[in-house]
Amino acid sequence: MKVLVSDNISPKGIEIMKKAGLQVDVKTGLKPEELKEIIPEYHGLVIRSATKVTADVIEAATNLKVIGRAGSGLDNVDKEAATKKGIVVMNTPGGNTITTAEHAIALMFALARNIPQATASMKQGKWEKKKFMGVELFNKTLGVLGLGNIGSQVAKRAQGLQMNVIGYDPFLSDERAKELGVKKVDLDELFEKSDFITIHTPLTPETKNLINKDTIKKMKDGVRIINCARGGIVNEKDLYDAIVSGKVAGAALDVFEKEPPEDLTLIKLDQVICTPHLGASTREAQENVAIAVAEQIVDYLLQGTIRNAVNFPSIPAEQVPHLMPYIKLAEVMGSFTAQLYEGGITEVTLEFRGEAANIDTKPVTIAALKGLLEPILTETVNFVNAPFIAKERGIEVKETKSPDSGDYHNMLVMKLRANGKENKIYGTLIGKKEPRIIKVEDYPVEIIPEGTMLFIYNNDRPGVIGNIGTTLGKNNINIARMHFGRESAGGMAISVVSVDSDVSEEVLQEIRQLPNILSVKIIKL
C-alpha cells in the first residue's frame, strides 16, 4: 500500500505509517497537474490545507481509498466527488481545540495591554510609556459568542482570570450553560454588557456579518473584539468605521474575509492587532494531528477500520448500499431541522417506521446527529464524534421503532425538544433511495432536500406566492422549485422556495415586509 504526503506534516506521522509497513512518499508543493499525474499509483493521500483535492484529481485517483487531513478544515477537498467514488475522507477533529482557545486568550491579553504596539515602538528606539495605557481583564465582562468545544475552553480560562463570563449560543441548553458556569444571555444582552467579545461560531448564513454597524451600535463604548473563528463573521468595513469613530477600542483578528487580506486598511489601524490564521499553529497541535491522521490511515488501509470520517459512518461494507439512502435522508433532516429551529436542544428522538424499523438504526441516528450539529458548531462534526458532542452538550438521544408508516413504505420522524417545545419533521425515501421531507410540524409538504431554500411561514391568502415570485424575480434570483403546505384553507401555511443562487439579507428583508409573510429563513443543504 502506498501513501502520498503532499503537505508538510510532523515527521512523527510519517514514521508511524512507515513502521506499519506502508510505503510513504513525501512530495510537497505539487502543482495541480503534477498531483493529478501521480495520484493513480497511491492508495492513501495525506494533506493539510495547501493541497487542493479537486474533482479532477479524484477522478484520476484510480486506486485511492482514503484522504486524510492533518487538521479539521476540509474546504480544500471535494467531499462529494470523493463520496461518489467511495473514497473515505478523514480529518482530525479536536486537535486544535486547546491551541485555538489559548490563542484567543493570548490575543485578548495583547489587546488589553497593547503589547504588539509597545513592542514595535521600542524596536524603533522609543520609550512611549504613557501612550500604551492598557486595561485589566480582572472583573471585566467577557462575552463568548458560541460555546462549543473552543468557546467553552475560552470560557474556562477566562473564569480563571476572574472575568465575568456570559455567553450566547442558541443551541446551548440551560443545563449545559450551568455546567460551564456561564451565564446564558441573548445576543442583545451580550452586546450591551460585554467589555470584551470573543467569537467562536461557524460561518453560516445566520452568522455572516454578525458583527456589523447595527450590532456594534448595541455594544458598550470602548468594547474590544477578538475573532479566532472564521473570516466573514465580522464585517471588516464596519469594524474599521467603529474603531475610527472610537466606539470600538480595538480588535484582535486571526481570521479574515479574504486570506491573505488584500485590503490592509483595517489591519493598519494602530488599535488592531492581527495574526495570519495561527489559531492551530503550535508544535503540539501540529504533532497531534499528524500522529492522529497517520494512525487513522494505517487503521483503514491495513484493517478497514474507519475513524473520524466526514463522509462515511463505520458500517460493514455489505450494508452500505442498503443503509446509505437512509443515512443521507437522516443527515439532511438533521441539517434542515438545525437551520429551521433555534434554542437550547435537550432531546432528540428518531422514530423509525415501516421498512425503516428493520434496518440497523445506529448509523442512521448518528447521521441525523451529524446533520443536526454541523450547522451550529465551530468544531468539526463527523460520523464518529457526533454522539460524543451531543452528550457533551447535554442532548439526550432516543430511538423508537414502529411497523406503521401510514401511506409510505418507510418513514423517519425527527423530534427535537428545545426550550421546552417539541418540533417534528417527517422524511421518507421515494423509490427506496431518493430523500424527501414530507411533513413539517402539521404541514404536509413534499420537499426535495437539496440546495438553497427559503422557508417561509405565511398566512394562506391570495397573492402570497405571486408576491414572493415577483420579489425574487426583480432581484434576478431564479426559482428552481416551490413547495407548499397548509393546516387548513385560509389558515397558517408554509412555502418552501428552492433558488439557484444566494439570497442577500436585503432581499430577505424585502420578502419579510410583504403582506401575510410571518417569517423567512434560509436553509442550505
Supply the residues annotated as catalytic: 230, 259, 277
Q: Yes or no: say if 334 and 162 are a contact pair by the CB < 8 Å rule.
A: no
H/E segment holding residue 115: helix 115-123
Report the alpha-carbon distance of residue 138 to residue 355 in Å, rounded.
59
Report the alpha-carbon distance of residue 152 to residue 167 in Å, rounded.
9
Report the alpha-carbon distance of residue 443 to residue 448 in Å, rounded.
15
Exposed, middle or buried by CB within 10 Å (0-12, 13-18, 19+), for 494?
buried
How many CB atoms neighbour CB 384 within 10 A?
19
How many CB atoms neighbour CB 250 within 10 A?
22
Order of all β-strands in the sheet with 345-354:
396-402, 345-354, 410-418, 421-430, 434-440, 443-447
Report the alpha-carbon distance of residue 432 to residue 243 in Å, rounded.
56
Q: What letter represents residue 157's amino acid?
A: R
- Cα angle 233, 518, 189 (rounded to 5 degrees) comes to 40
Residue 474 is placed in which grid cell?
426583480
HEC sequence for 20-78: CCCEEEECCCCCHHHHHHHHHHCCEEEECCCCCECHHHHHHCCCCCEEEECCCCCCCEC
Report the alpha-carbon distance of residue 276 to residue 261 in Å, rounded.
9
Report the alpha-carbon distance of residue 135 to residue 129 in Å, rounded.
14
Give, rounded to a whole angstrom, the gap between the first and last alpha carbons of the chain: 36
Residue 396 is placed in which grid cell?
439526550
Q: Yes or no: say if 48 and 19 are a contact pair by the CB < 8 Å rule.
A: no
Q: What letter represents residue 383's amino acid?
A: F
DSSP-based helix, strand, coil % in the chain, nearest 5: 35, 25, 40
Nearest CA to 85 among 103, 65, 110? 65
